[in-house]
Structure 1
Amino acid sequence: MYPLQALCILVAIPSICKGQQENTCNVFPKDQYIETGSDTEIFCQTSCVHSKVFWTQNNRPMNESLSRTINSSHTLLTLRNLTLHSATLQCHSAETQHVLGGTTFRTYTKPSNISCILDYKNQAGPGGAPQLLICTWKHEIRSSFEQNNVNYSVIWLCPSYSTSCGPQREIICNSSVTTCTLEKADLSDKIHLWKNFTIIVRAKTAAWETYSKSIELNPYHILKLIRPWHVEVTSTPSDKPLVKWNRSLVSKKCHCQIKYSKATNEGTLEWVKNKTLNSKKKGEETITDAESCSYYTFAVRCALEKAPWSDWSLEKTFVTKLHKGDVRLRLWRKVTEPDKNGARKVHVMWTEIPSTCQDKFTYTIKRTPYQEHVSGVNLTYTLCGSSTCDVDVNEDAHRLYLTVLQNEVLLVEDSVYVPAMGESLQVTDIQTSTHEGDILVKWKGPVQPVNGYMIDYTHNGNQYHWKESKYTNAKLFALQDMKPYNITVTPLFGEKTGRGTQALQICSRVGDPGNVNITSVLAYDKSASISWTVKSQETCTGVVVNYTIFYGTQKGPQLNVTVNSTKQELKDLNPDTQYSVYVQATSLTGTTKSSERFFMTKRFDPKLVTSLSVCGSITIVLVLCLGLCCAIQWKKYKEKPVPNPGLSSVAWWPWTSPQKGMCSFQPISNPSESLYDRVYTEETQRTSTTSLAAGGNGNQASEQTERYPDPGVAPVPDIQNEKPPEPANDQQPSSPGESTVLLSSENGLFSPYRSQSSLETPPTGTSKQCKRLLVKQQEKTTPATVYVTLDMFKQGHSW
């Protein structure tokens, strides 16, 4: 908003001033560039106003003490030691607050921190006059426009002592960056007689120009020597590396550095040695701390007093030889417990001679009883490997001698003592602890005075480490991470050793708990049962203190429960919902969690579904059993015998309208022609036949009828009689229409079924109570045929 307001004010000022006798107001100088740290003055013309004025810088009021009134029409603003990158200054009327005029300024800096070196373009030669002058400096650029539009020049100032110098100033190098290289053949003419010379740096743009402070340079202080071009490494008589090199032709005292490095499993180790050479002296240095049979890389550089270092020479690789004084066998032994015969196995170990040594080495162990003056003792020699050897001894004390031959020549020899079984000098009360991967060992020494203690330790029983201590404690470091260590402490006294005491196995570091694996998740409608296991391939894993189960839905909060077992039931879950769960095992050293697992709760309780399934199954079985029983009973019922219709006969059953004192019978429909059929059983026929044979009359028939008042109920005929007897002629006259004829089968045999036909006029009979009436057969009435089952009349049943 400020530029627009300023524009409006500046447009309005001429109108205001025109009304005031054509007087104008303004600020000058305009848009100036000022060097950082310098002073400047800004004028404000106040002809258009009659009041005081005040100044603002970037819209902030400035201290009134910085401005003063020169006359009635001008006010002066003085700025000292400017440090701002840029600023906008405005002059305001104190009465109307109007802006009378404004200006901006920007600051720029001088080039600083100038440094130059004299260098050689060709590093392969012996040196001579330098060929390059390389100067660098620093310059603060305060705008992107200036950054791409600044030009630099290195200006040579003719020294006052020179009488042949041409112009007082000469541009020797131009650049658009903050470094410049002068590469001229006559550079040595500028550095006449190797005396001091002076240069300055100019920075120039279209808007401003500035110069750095002049700097006087001593050629010998800025000369970068040529790198040593010839370096060789040989061996001294003591088998130590000797480094030699050639120095520059500049005949002045110089300092040199010899850098040598060695590659190891842990990385590259590097050392630097300093060497000062007097005038014209060649370089030579012996590396006394180089290890035997090791690969080393050597390089050399040199520099004059107060001058920059030269480049490193080309590297030289050298393999050091084995120096006898470097061989430290550190011979030690590990004695096992005796077997049933008293024999013991001694594991002898020593520091291995580096495998990089080119010579041939032979290792021999000589075993001898401790008292060597005993005559008749057989010495036993064992040829061993390069760092370990196993020797068998009995329960007596022995001394073992290790002999090392280099190219069949004795190199070094050492011995170690093996105590007898009866010796009891040993340490007690060993205590171990761990701290940041190191093992701290403490023990209680014996009462007898000792020279020190030997601590041997191993994590696999094959590779041993050992160290000596003069105190009753030791710190074991550089151990394998998370490995169990067996530690043994043995006292040393004179040329003998006591018996070793082994501490309890301890881990170098106890890690996190083992891997947690969820084995099963049994989900129900509102609960779930979680089971898990903890397995680890490492021995040194933390003991689990507790387990925490984290579970929850995707959108819901995460819940947790802490337990001490490897199984837990989660309750109060939502039915038919997906849950995620993982288990975290916690020990004193850390935590381990399982992978996340998802499960879905049931919609209904599985126990209820199971109960309903069991009940349904039982119900189905019962229904099937009941149906089977019913089927069996129905089958039995269907298989009951049906009476032979051929053994029965039919007769008319009289039907009359109901009359007083008479029995009425309902008509029975029958498909036969007769309306009424009379059924005769075999027993009835037998009785009738007997009665007729005896000369019976109608009264007997009446009695017979009285005995069986219901003609529909009759005794079962005797199924033993194949042929029912024919009724007698005197029993009842037969009508011409009534006939009893046996039906013939297709094969001509008699059929058990009779041909039953009805007569129009039934036989009359007498009865004591009822009188049969002849009823005219109705039209369209179908008489019924009656069948009687056999079980209706069981033998012995009394009617």
Structure 2
Amino acid sequence: MSLFLTLFIVAATSSICKGQPKNTCKVVPKNEYIEVGSDTEIVCQTSCIPGKIYWTLNKRRIDKSQSSNSSHAVLSLRNFTLQNATLQCLNADTLQALGGTIIRTYSKPNNISCILHHTNQFQDFSPDLFTCNWEHRIKPSPDINYTVLIASLSHDSQQEICKSNVTNCTTTSEKISIFDNMTVTVRAKAAAWQAESDPHEFCPDHILKIIPPKLTVKTSSDHMLVSVVARSRAAFLKQCHCEVKYSKVVDEGPVSEWVHNNTLKNGHGNETIEEFDSCNNYTFSVRCALVEGPWSDWSEKKTVLTKLNKRDFKLRLWRKVAEPEENGLRKVHAMWTEIPSTCRGTFTYTVKQTLYEENLMEVNDTDILCGSSTCVVYVNQDAHRVQLTVLHNGALLVVDSVYVPAEGESLPPVTDIQTSTLEGDILVSWKASMAPVTGYMIDWTHGGNQYHWKESRYTHTTLSGLLDKQPYNITVTPLFDDKTGHGTHALQICTRVGDPGNVMIQVQSKDKSALVSWNVSSQGPCSGAVVTYTVFYRIQREPQLNVTVNSTEQFISLKDLIPDTQYSVHVSATALTGTTQSRETLFRTKRFDPELVTVVSVCGSIVILLVLSLGLCCAVRWKKFKEKPVPNPGLSSLALWPALSHQEGTCPFQPFSNPTESLCDRVYTGETQQASTSPLAPGCDDNPACVQTEYIDPAAFSAPEDPVKPVKTQHPSSPEDSTALLPSENSPYRSQTSVESFASRSIKQCKRVPVKQTEKMTPVIVYVTLDMLEQQ
């Protein structure tokens, strides 16, 4: 951009001064490179204009004006340090640019450092590599070539030993003399400039980097011994110093490192370390250097397991005393610092309870074998002392004891325990005991399975490293000279109150409303108390609506919903510590009001039942009407009755005149009823299921001399009418005569006793056939 601007200015200046070849305006020199911190002068030729000019540096006006009394103006720049700058010469009257130039700076390499070192870091030979590093203010690029020049007493003239495009260079030591002082110069060369660093003189002993030493570590119960042995011949011949670095191995979290300085004598040195944790892994590494030489590389890390430190190990024995049981005994839960499982060897723990009296202790020889960190014993209401003994591989390691006060013993406890939480920690404070104390023991537990305890000389403490959102029980006990007082319990407190419990919802929908109910299942004793419930509901791709109720409500009715529409709903429970949201539930409103559908269904069912009942009654009445046959005389046919000798048989038709009569009642005309004196066979009368047909044989009678022509008959309108016409004198059946002899034949399922005919008569008989009923 600056180059383009410069070309534009030069072109503009040329156009202004066009036509004046002798009186031109320009700035010289063009695109100059100068060394950082040097001086330079810029000349502006002003032959083309009269009056004054002024200069700008990177578009900023320089606070001095120069008169163009002569044909040019000179700008002097002293101690110029900018990496690049654009200078312009402008007419003070017209503000026209007369010319411009760009000045760039370069620097020479500096801060040169060189070392003699080894390719093999495990075997000591003569150093075979020579490496130099330097700094350059200009950003290295492929356009800049660096050359390392060296001169020594054996070579007065400089010789090139290494070339590079970066700010370091390595070569073999064959090109230099490792026994003489040497002078090193670095040359930087670009297309437009070249710069050489100031010469630096080096002594071989000051730049010799020795190989790492050998390291051994021995552990004991109270210290660790670190031994360093040099592997470089120079370290044996000259004074050498070393640094021992070690750190504790942890699974997670930051690693703390410690460094101890040590001086080797004749290539050997020892370092004793006494501050360490028992039965933990530690890593060690070491490096050495000649007095004025560079540090060697760190040796390989060595890991060792420390032993149990008897001097620093403390059991920190403590006890928890429960309330007396029904038998008067008190349960004492003894606990102590657990020895790390990484400690090698066999550890045995025994507890002995001793009845305590002032200046006298009655010893109980019974020892209780315990676990690695806890033990339970029972004591009565008297004062006792519980003693713990720890053996390591059968040898006594440590002995400690703790006091258990008698029930009701006058040892004033602490009062007014206050607890609060801060970022997961519990802050505990209390009022001091009335009696002089040596300190306070604070113990806390989550769930009562595992206890933690700490001692404090103050009336306040902070409990850290606690489980999140869990309740803790805390007890503060005053400590006296050789006794422990009665503990005071604080109210249970949560490290942090969590969000409300899980919210479960149910939805019962109607056409224009929905009943949303919910319940909250607690996530634990530290769940937050719900302050408000908010019900969110909406149609898909529509704005969300919400209704808020207080914590006492467990349901709400959503009104003014759209029928037959799908909604989504969820409930949010809000506490002072957070919010819990239920899962989103989908429901669809009814097309019609369910209550209206129920009423319509009930009414419709009642109407259907009434219609069915009415239809059934009509059907029963119709059936009864159809079961009363009415004979149609117009459909009857004339036949002769069989002879009396054929009266045995069955009655093939049902009575139709009177339903109360027997199934075997016969049909007679009036004359027949008057003349006949013989009744029906008793065998047929006794069986109502029997059907008998009376048949008159035509051959038993002679044809009448004057037959009567048949007369039209009318169908009776009812069964009663038809029975009333039988004895009528005008009946067409009465005019019918038969020349056949009288005989009857009975067709029935039961046998019939024939009746003897006392006299011979010639009746006029009519009959009815079943065809009349079928055709009616």
Give the TM-score band, short-chain normalised. 0.7 to 0.9
Secondary structure, in 3 states, of the residue corresponding to 2:119? coil
Work out whether 1:586 is the aligned partner of 2:574.
yes
- Residue of structure 1 in register with 2:473 after alignment: 486
- Residue of structure 2 in register with 1:411 after alignment: 397
- Contact kept, 8 Å, 1:139 with 1:178, in 2: the verdict is no
- Contact kept, 8 Å, 2:54 with 2:64, in 1: the verdict is no
Deviates more, 1:499-508 or 1:738-747: 738-747
Correspondences of 1:438-587 after superposition (within 5 Å): 438-516=425-503, 518-563=504-549, 564=551, 565-587=553-575
- Residue of structure 2 in register with 1:231 after alignment: 215
Secondary structure, in 3 states, of the residue corresponding to 1:324? coil
- Contact kept, 8 Å, 2:128 with 2:173, in 1: the verdict is no
- Contact kept, 8 Å, 1:117 with 1:135, in 2: the verdict is no
- How many residue pairs were aligned? 673
User: Compared with structure 1, are the counterparts of its residues 94 and 232 closer, same or farther at alpha carbon in structure 2 (3 Å cutoff)?
Assistant: closer
User: Compared with structure 1, are the counterparts of its residues 482 and 222 closer, same or farther at alpha carbon in structure 2 (3 Å cutoff)?
Assistant: farther
Work out whether 1:202 is the aligned partner of 2:168.
no
- Contact kept, 8 Å, 2:329 with 2:378, in 1: the verdict is yes
Deviation at 1:94, TM superposition (A): 7.4
Query: Could you list the per-position Cα deviations for residues 483-513 of structure 1 after superposition, in whole angstroms to 9, with x for gaps in the alignment?
Result: 2222222232232223333333222222222
Choose which of 155, 166, 171 in structure 1 pairs with 2:156: 166
Correspondences of 1:346-495 after superposition (within 5 Å): 346-371=332-357, 379-425=365-411, 426-495=413-482
Distance across 2 between alignment mates of 1:330 and 1:107: 71
- Contact kept, 8 Å, 2:352 with 2:386, in 1: the verdict is yes
Query: Could you list the per-position Cα deviations for residues 53-80 of structure 1 after superposition, in whole angstroms to 9, with x for gaps in the alignment?
Result: 85776994744846664744x4545555
- Contact kept, 8 Å, 1:580 with 1:599, in 2: the verdict is yes
- Residue of structure 2 in register with 1:724 after alignment: 727
Distance across 1 between alignment mates of 2:505 and 2:167: 70
User: Compared with structure 1, are the counterparts of its residues 106 and 394 closer, same or farther at alpha carbon in structure 2 (3 Å cutoff)?
Assistant: same
Report percent identity of matched pairs: 52
Give the unaligned 5+ runs of structure 1. Answer: 650-684, 691-710, 729-733, 757-786, 788-799
User: Compared with structure 1, are the counterparts of its residues 20 and 260 closer, same or farther at alpha carbon in structure 2 (3 Å cutoff)?
Assistant: closer
- Residue of structure 2 in register with 1:298 after alignment: 284
Secondary structure, in 3 states, of the residue corresponding to 2:174? coil
Letter in 1 for 2:584: E
- Contact kept, 8 Å, 2:262 with 2:270, in 1: the verdict is no
Distance across 1 between alignment mates of 2:771 and 2:546: 97
Letter in 2 for 1:207: A
- Residue of structure 2 in register with 1:270 after alignment: 256
- Contact kept, 8 Å, 2:498 with 2:527, in 1: the verdict is yes
User: Compared with structure 1, are the counterparts of its residues 61 and 297 closer, same or farther at alpha carbon in structure 2 (3 Å cutoff)?
Assistant: closer
Query: Could you list the per-position Cα deviations for residues 587-621 of structure 1 after superposition, in whole angstroms to 9, with x for gaps in the alignment?
Result: 22222223333334444444444444444444434
Secondary structure, in 3 states, of the residue corresponding to 2:612? helix
- Residue of structure 1 in register with 2:121 after alignment: 123
Letter in 2 for 1:277: T
- Contact kept, 8 Å, 2:124 with 2:211, in 1: the verdict is yes
Letter in 1 for 2:141: Q
User: Compared with structure 1, are the counterparts of its residues 561 and 138 closer, same or farther at alpha carbon in structure 2 (3 Å cutoff)?
Assistant: farther
Distance across 2 between alignment mates of 1:532 and 1:754: 80
- Residue of structure 1 in register with 2:167 after alignment: 178
Distance across 2 between alignment mates of 1:446 and 1:549: 53
User: Compared with structure 1, are the counterparts of its residues 36 and 374 closer, same or farther at alpha carbon in structure 2 (3 Å cutoff)?
Assistant: closer
User: Compared with structure 1, are the counterparts of its residues 523 and 122 closer, same or farther at alpha carbon in structure 2 (3 Å cutoff)?
Assistant: same
Secondary structure, in 3 states, of the residue corresponding to 1:182? strand
Distance across 1 between alignment mates of 2:16 and 2:257: 82
- Residue of structure 2 in register with 1:790 after alignment: none
- Residue of structure 1 in register with 2:223 after alignment: 240
- Residue of structure 2 in register with 1:665 after alignment: none
Distance across 1 between alignment mates of 2:771 and 2:445: 121
Distance across 1 between alignment mates of 2:543 and 2:361: 89
Work out whether 1:29 is the aligned partner of 2:32.
no
- Contact kept, 8 Å, 2:107 with 2:136, in 1: the verdict is no
- Residue of structure 2 in register with 1:700 after alignment: none
Distance across 2 between alignment mates of 1:137 and 1:561: 70
- Residue of structure 2 in register with 1:321 after alignment: 307
- Residue of structure 2 in register with 1:595 after alignment: 583
Deviation at 1:352, TM superposition (A): 1.9
Deviation at 1:253, TM superposition (A): 5.0
Secondary structure, in 3 states, of the residue corresponding to 1:341? coil
Letter in 2 for 1:478: G
Deviates more, 1:591-600 or 1:17-26: 17-26
Letter in 2 for 1:301: R
Secondary structure, in 3 states, of the residue corresponding to 2:441? strand
Distance across 1 between alignment mates of 2:145 and 2:206: 28
Letter in 2 for 1:177: V
Correspondences of 1:82-161 after superposition (within 5 Å): 82=80, 86=84, 103-126=101-124, 131-141=129-139, 147-156=141-150
User: Compared with structure 1, are the counterparts of its residues 504 and 75 closer, same or farther at alpha carbon in structure 2 (3 Å cutoff)?
Assistant: closer
- Residue of structure 2 in register with 1:701 after alignment: none
User: Compared with structure 1, are the counterparts of its residues 220 and 549 closer, same or farther at alpha carbon in structure 2 (3 Å cutoff)?
Assistant: farther
Deviates more, 1:462-471 or 1:52-61: 52-61
Deviates more, 1:8-17 or 1:551-560: 8-17
Deviation at 1:151, TM superposition (A): 0.8
Distance across 1 between alignment mates of 2:502 and 2:133: 63
Distance across 1 between alignment mates of 2:736 and 2:129: 161
- Contact kept, 8 Å, 1:400 with 1:417, in 2: the verdict is yes
- Contact kept, 8 Å, 2:501 with 2:580, in 1: the verdict is yes
Deviation at 1:232, TM superposition (A): 0.7
Letter in 2 for 1:549: V
Deviation at 1:347, TM superposition (A): 1.7
User: Compared with structure 1, are the counterparts of its residues 506 and 62 closer, same or farther at alpha carbon in structure 2 (3 Å cutoff)?
Assistant: closer
Deviation at 1:245, TM superposition (A): 0.1
Deviation at 1:226, TM superposition (A): 2.9
Secondary structure, in 3 states, of the residue corresponding to 1:326? coil
Correspondences of 1:633-712 after superposition (within 5 Å): 633-636=621-624, 638-639=625-626, 641=628, 643-646=630-633
Query: Could you list the per-position Cα deviations for residues 204-257 of structure 1 after superposition, in whole angstroms to 9, with x for gaps in the alignment?
Result: 1222222344445565555444322x1111245x64110010245345555432
- Contact kept, 8 Å, 1:647 with 1:717, in 2: the verdict is no
Deviates more, 1:434-443 or 1:424-433: 424-433
User: Compared with structure 1, are the counterparts of its residues 397 and 225 closer, same or farther at alpha carbon in structure 2 (3 Å cutoff)?
Assistant: same
Distance across 2 between alignment mates of 1:610 and 1:336: 66
- Contact kept, 8 Å, 2:53 with 2:65, in 1: the verdict is no
Deviation at 1:382, TM superposition (A): 1.1
Deviates more, 1:741-750 or 1:28-37: 741-750
Query: Could you list the per-position Cα deviations for residues 262-300 of structure 1 after superposition, in whole angstroms to 9, with x for gaps in the alignment?
Result: 223544643313224266463211110122332222111
Deviation at 1:4, TM superposition (A): 9.6
- Contact kept, 8 Å, 2:116 with 2:127, in 1: the verdict is no
Deviation at 1:328, TM superposition (A): 1.0
Distance across 2 between alignment mates of 1:12 and 1:491: 94
Query: Could you list the per-position Cα deviations for residues 315-359 of structure 1 after superposition, in whole angstroms to 9, with x for gaps in the alignment?
Result: 222222223223311122222222211122222211122222222
- Contact kept, 8 Å, 2:145 with 2:164, in 1: the verdict is yes
